Chain A
Amino acid sequence: MTINTLSQDGVQRQQMPCLTKMERMIISMQDPDMGIKLRNQRLLITVIPHAMTGLDIVEWLIKKCSISDEEALHVGQLFVKYGYIYPLKEPRNLILKADDSSYRFQTPYYWMSTRWPASELDYAIYLAKKNIRKQGELIEYEKECYNALHKRINHTWDFVVMQAREQLRASKQRRKGDRIVLECQEQAYWLVNRPPVSPEHYKLTTLTKNTIAITYCAVKYNQIFFLSCLFFLARNRVKSSICLESYVKYCEQYQPHDPIMQGCLPSNPWITDDIMFWNMNSETVALPTKLRVERWSFSFMELLNDQMGRKEFLTYLEKEFSAENLCFWQACEDVRHGETAKIPEKVDEVYKQFLAPGASRWVNIDSKTMEKTLEGLKRPHRFVLDDAQMHIYFLMKKDSYPRYLKSELYKNLLARAIVPQETKKSVFPFMRRQRHSSPSPALATQTAEDDGKAKYSNSNSGTASRL
């Protein structure tokens, strides 16, 4: 199905949200009552009306948005960068300074949202005006642009020069104050839209988004959407209060395990350059940490996700003579996530080992599911064992898992589990520890395991403590 992005100008569509937001804020800044207090500013011998200081802008932002100085300066800076506010004293320096430097609001005529992209023709006229008004006033990059434009749009050059002359003549008839203001505004516009170095405004959009139009089939899309809607409506929903309550519980339960929220013991490797934390929690460690073992009790999935947890659970199941359940589940996972080409042979293996009558590790599935699965095995596909796998998963979850958590095996491990000591802060705080590289996972797994064990046993004597 091919789709259309229904926009004429991809760039326009892309930047509308942020420009609209900026403009809304600019307008409220200019509000006569709640906005920034404007005053007259003397520039050489002329008086420029409606000017404000950089400090005014920053303070207004701090008050309006309840943010810090740093952030207010950052936001104010964006307004200057995108041409909504321009500096009076150093027009080429598009920076907001939180002092008494003067700034003015740009007129909406020159807003980026109304005049995007900057037209080459307009730029040529502007440069021509500058050139005519005072020979040699063009600076380096402007001269280059002027020459390049002269070459590129040579066919309209007469028009350009004529327009430039007309505009200059019209401006001479204005009052001096107005003229200066208009010149400032125009200059500011071009500094934003045609600066010396290629600005990132031009890359306001990512190269690809919305720039490639694809053909659209309205009927097809609407029909699929219509059918989807029918499906959505039939869904069972849960009350918000129940759903939201579950987040609170989840966050609370996992907070001690979240290193960013509550730190981690012995220390966060990124902060102290000490990788003890990773060594103690590696997959092949001899004795796990207490937090890790506690986490297995949060949900069955947590237990299965941890390789060590899975091994412990398997040991428990072996004692209960129901280890084939976990093995069956693992084999099914292998089928679901493995190579497509190997599916038939894998499914066959599973059948022989777990499902065939008299199989060595026969799993106890209800007759209905067994029938359905055996039927499906005639034409094996990736999901043929799903129902059986589901049945066994829930069996383990509802029966074996809770009993494991109450078992001696688990409780013993929990009692023996380590609570690492917090690494003492180094005496010389600026001394950086050596950062050792670790074996890449791309190495054969055997070597990785050996290394992990070695590292742990070396450091065991140091900082780990037992309960």
Chain B
Amino acid sequence: MGALKNKTKTKSQNPPPRKKLKKVLIANEPEKEDLLSDSDGMGEVEEHEESDEEELEFNSDLDVSSDGDDPFADDILKGSGDDEGSDVDSDSDSDASDIETKARAIDEENARVEEEAEAELQLNIKEEADEFQLPTKEELEEEVHRPPDLSNLQRRIKEIVRVLSNFKSLRQDGATRKDYVDQLKLDLSSYYGYNEFLIEALVEMFPIVELMELIEAFEKPRPISLRTNTLKTRRRDLAGVLLNRGVNLDPLSKWSKVGLVVYDSQVPIGATPEYMAGYYMLQSASSFLPVMALAPQEKERIVDMAAAPGGKTTYIAALMKNSGIIYANEMKESRLKSLTANLHRMGVTNTIVCNYDGRELTKVLGNNTVDRVLLDAPCSGTGVISKDESVKTSKSALDIQNCAHLQKQLILAAIDMVDANSKSGGYIVYSTCSIMVAENEAVIDYALKKRDVKLVPCGLDFGRPGFIRFREHRFHTSLEKTRRFYPHVHNMDGFFVAKLKKMSNSKQTPNPYEPSEEVEQGPELMESNGQNNGDGDIHQHSKKKEVAKEHRKLINGSTKGGKGENPPVMEKRTKRKRPSREEIARIREEKRQALREAKSKGKRNGGTVD
């Protein structure tokens, strides 16, 4: 019985002390306040003290708690508790006034410390901001000799971005925005491995923060995606089969009914029996877009001008359900094998594969013969840097210019092949895997000027509209219907898609081309005015000959009396009925005769005709 009682006692004693600990703690404060109720400050100070004590000395928690004059607590926390309690008690009882002054002093100290701390904080902030100075010339020279210090570069890049985002307040005195941007360009090219030209181009196209996002996105690969071959299976079934094989996949996005994205896979995704049987094709998400924009209908005639390795061609065939006819053209012989292999593997039967230069296709297939053309033009590849790092260093302004020139020729050939009067078609889709304006908007603008086509919406509303103006270029306003895709925004490779509708089969633009303030148009217009005022026919003809020659290089089709780029000349022409080919040849012969005669006359007279 006694033992039991003891046990119960101990038991009952154990929880109560804990509770009493709390009670004591809470009790302490009001008690203290009662004792020293002279000023609030002192109470606060006491609390501070207590809390400090609690924080600093966990062991003495028990001691602190036993400060409360609680007899029960003393049972467990005997000796030391008693002593301390008595000490504090004696202090508080006798030295009340001392504590007051002490408390006031401590209070003032605290206030002072706080002020100093704030001041220091401000100082630190200022110092940090001022800390970032642009490196001086000597420092830069030093850096060139030393091996690149990556962490230093990265820090400097971040600092410059921060300064540029809040330029007015964070700038260094005497440093212009240009200095910061130049230093940033240098740092970016050495940190990420770009050449000067490419960094320059990117800085012109994007604001600084977005530029950083883009560059970071180029460092990482895009997710692997595949496209279900609807000629042989459905996405649901294919997904089921692949999941059974151990592939972790998901539908690609809501804009595609045939796309799947692969997160990881236990089997090689490019070597499953389903792949070999042609149930799917490994294709990046951005490559779906031009075919979706093209929207081929059944029983149409389609041309794919740069078809290898055949991802887009097979998608077109699947959309057409193997009806109609596709001409798949590829210039490079080495890529033809993969094109034919893919076509046969995927079960495409409506395709003819040929090996021409795209610019020659009008000769082979004739003008105005097909319903739709897809031109996925060869480009500099600046949008797929995540797949091919060599693009960072290998592209120069000349490369871009060459690509643009080729693309302009190809797009004119593409437009010429399409039949504007086709019942269901009359569309050209132009796409590149590049983000350079010279290869994208500039080429479309050129096509708008040279042929009777207009831009129509692609149907890809989730992309960004193309540029209407860029640096010194001014493009036609309808270029906002083109779409740009970026890795940091859409998680796809950089891509550009434009859809054109051919309005008529003529090779002249009936409406004078509008809002360009480019320098090119100026002298031409002036020339034409001069010609009209002058001798008229002969000069016009010589000008037309030049123009005709230029265009014969581009297109080997027949020109209908030359191209009128000069508005006054064009207006005259549209009012006249177009003469037939024989008449044109006759007129030309006559004019040539006249020229020869005039030349010989001029020589006799000792002057020049022109």
Q: Do A and B come from one complex?
A: no
